Amino acid sequence: MTRPAALVIGGGIAGIQAALDHASGANFYLDPNALHWLGKPKLEKAEGEAAVDAVLVSLYRSQWDLWLVSDLFKAFRAANAKVPGGPMKSPVKRVMAVDFDSIGFPRVAADGAAPAEGGDAGEAIDPQKDAALDFKNGGVLGLVSNQLYDVRETRVKVVVETAAIPALVNELARCNFISVADVKLQPADTFDALRMGYVYGPQPCSELNLTLKSVWFRDWTTERMPVAMLKAIKSAGKPKPESADTAKPAAAGQ
Q: What is the mean pLDDT of residues 191-211?
A: 92
**Is the pLDDT at 224 greater than 60, yes or no?**
yes
Mean pLDDT of the region 223-249: 81
pLDDT of residue 12: 52
User: pTM for this structure?
Assistant: 0.82
85-142 pLDDT per residue, tens:
889 899 999 999 999 999 998 765 444 445 545 455 689 999 999 988 999 999 999 9
What is the percentage of the chain residues whose pLDDT exceeds 90? 59
When pLDDT is averaged across residues 160-164 and rounded to a whole number, the result is 97
What residues pair up with 97 in beta bridges, in sequence order? 157
Question: Which residue from 127, 195, 154 is spatially nearest to 65, judged by alpha carbons?
Answer: 154
> In this predicted structure, what is the pLDDT of residue 254?
47
| 23 against 168, higher pLDDT | 168
| Cβ pair 57, 41 in contact under 8 A | yes
Signed CA dihedral, 139, 141, 147, 152: sign only: negative
**Cα–Cα distance between 156 and 201 in angstroms, integer?**
22
51-55, 116-120, 212-216, 242-246 — most confident range: 212-216
Measured distance CA(116)–CA(106) in Å, rounded: 10
Query: Exposed e or buried b for every residue in 78-91, given b needs 16+ CB within 10 A?
Result: bbbeeeeebbbbbb
Which amino acid, residue 95?
V
Average of pLDDT values for 178-204? 93
Q: Mean pLDDT across the stretch 39-56?
A: 78
Q: What is the pLDDT of residue 213?
A: 97
In this structure, of 22-26, 81-85, 180-184, 239-243, the range with the lowest mean pLDDT score is 22-26
* CB proximity list for 39: less than 8 A, separation 6 or greater: none
Residue 244 has pLDDT above 80, yes or no: no
Mean pLDDT of the chain: 84
Highest mean predicted confidence (pLDDT) among 21-35, 133-147, 234-248:
133-147
